[in-house]
Amino acid sequence: MTTQIVLPVELDAVRQTSVNNGEPAWLTESRANGVKLAQELELPRLEKMKIERWDLSNFGQLREGYAASAQQLPDSVASLVDLKEHSNLIVQVNSSTQFAQLSPELAAKGVIFTDLETAVREHGDLVQRYLHQAVKSDENRLTALHSALWSGGIFLYVPRNVEIEIPLQSIFVQEDDKTTFAPHILIVAEANSRVTYVDNYFSAQFDKTIVHSGVAEVFVQAGAKVQFATVHNLGSSTTDLSYRRGIVENDGSIEWIIGEMNFGDVMSETLSILKGNGSLSDMKVIAVGSGSQKLNYTTKAVHFGKSSESQMITRAVMREQSTAIINGITKIEKGATKANGEQTEKVLMLSPKARGDANPILLIDEDDVKAGHAASVGQVNQEQIYYLMSRGITREQAERLVIYGFLAPVVTEIPLEPLQQQLQGLVERKLGQ
């Protein structure tokens, strides 16, 4: 028996908005199907956390019509970007595009970098082929709702053999609590292409809690290389529900760099599906919890390909009464011989009221593999603080050094200098310094 669920959306309204927005029939159907699935499916089951108790009532209203792109950078994000002639940037506010720029050189090479709704209109077949194929709408109520409600977001398509040096960047800002906040990122990197994508999420402070329902799907074709960096810095009244998933073909590689710098509750899952032989995945997550945040982070790699390799590192610093459940799952399927999966989850507790749980899980169905995990939850080592203070460093500064030292193995490995600095700044802010 399924209990009757009161959904934050109605089928007729979703269908009508889609039609009014001039979306193709396949998309209207896909959205309607999402609503129907949401009625049937349950919320995902989270390890040691009851998402059923979270306030997920406010998914907002789907925006009708498109605001013409103003081609003006909102002040709030101007400091984040160093806009040059060759920059590639999309900025969306309340899921409407405010600014979009793709360098003519990349456009000439056939690169598509646009908001997803425009892509549906201009490259419908391409989008239809990939949309919801990595994160399927029928997985649970959240993925179903996302497929019904997604709005704004990015389509990035890199043709075969095209190698892009400079990162493509997008910024999502939510300033009102009425419009749906559900951007969908769809990246297709064709064979032997190379690209770096970086995005940032911000939201204002609201009277009621809103939901950010985000999905990122990345298709890494044979020999392609994708770097995906994302920094979530949403306000305390935004609950972040994010699924990120990459499907990696033969000899392809994906590198995830994730900064969990939100102030509200978070459920996030980042998953690499290593389909191809010789495929690689590298995940680095840094997180700082504060206030009474409830955080549930999952990193996961599933190995199908022979000699596929995955690395996952999560480092979380927990302040005040925040709670984090950190799951690392390495799954090696039968036949994935010579696969290698390594994971580490470490939590540093700064307060006796903070809670941190690291759950490393290895699921291995093949003998000829290597896999390893390490997990730890600990407090700041007072012997270390004493040592630093004995050199004249104040307690505050000593703690700071130890905390940054804890995060350093991830931060220093971030291959993009500006991102490293941005994360450093956000960590400082979250640590209240």
Residues that bind other proteins (CB under 8 A): 381-384, 386-395, 397-398, 401-402, 404-409
CA-wise closest residue to 276 among 328, 218, 221: 221
Cα distance between residue 359 and residue 325, in whole Å? 8
Q: How many CA atoms lie within 13 A of 309 on its CB side?
A: 8
Three-state DSSP state, 428: helix
Q: Is the CB of 211 or the CB of 398 nearer to other proteins?
A: 398
For the bound state, the minimum distance from the C-beta of residue 300 to other proteins, rounded and expressed in Å, comes to 26
Q: Is the CB of 43 or the CB of 402 nearer to other proteins?
A: 402
Q: What is the DSSP letter of 214?
A: E
CA-wise closest residue to 319 among 341, 285, 352: 352
For the bound state, the minimum distance from the C-beta of residue 425 to other proteins, rounded and expressed in Å, comes to 17
Q: Is the CB of 59 or the CB of 406 nearer to other proteins?
A: 406
Q: Is the CB of 63 or the CB of 430 nearer to other proteins?
A: 430
Give me 124's structure tokens. 């419908």
Residue 247's φ and ψ, nearest 5 degrees, are: -115, 120
For the bound state, the minimum distance from the C-beta of residue 357 to other proteins, rounded and expressed in Å, comes to 22
For the bound state, the minimum distance from the C-beta of residue 170 to other proteins, rounded and expressed in Å, comes to 31
Three-state DSSP state, 337: coil
For the bound state, the minimum distance from the C-beta of residue 365 to other proteins, rounded and expressed in Å, comes to 34
For the bound state, the minimum distance from the C-beta of residue 412 to other proteins, rounded and expressed in Å, comes to 8
Cα distance between residue 80 and residue 78, in whole Å? 5
Q: Is the CB of 4 or the CB of 382 nearer to other proteins?
A: 382
For the bound state, the minimum distance from the C-beta of residue 145 to other proteins, rounded and expressed in Å, comes to 40
Q: Is the CB of 168 or the CB of 398 nearer to other proteins?
A: 398
Contact 368, 337 (CB under 8 A): yes
CA-wise closest residue to 166 among 117, 109, 214, 221: 109
Residue 368: count of CB within 10 angstroms of its CB: 11
Contact 295, 322 (CB under 8 A): yes
Q: Is the CB of 57 or the CB of 386 nearer to other proteins?
A: 386
Q: How far is CA 401 from CA 101, 226, 316, 395, 405, in A?
A: 39, 32, 15, 10, 6
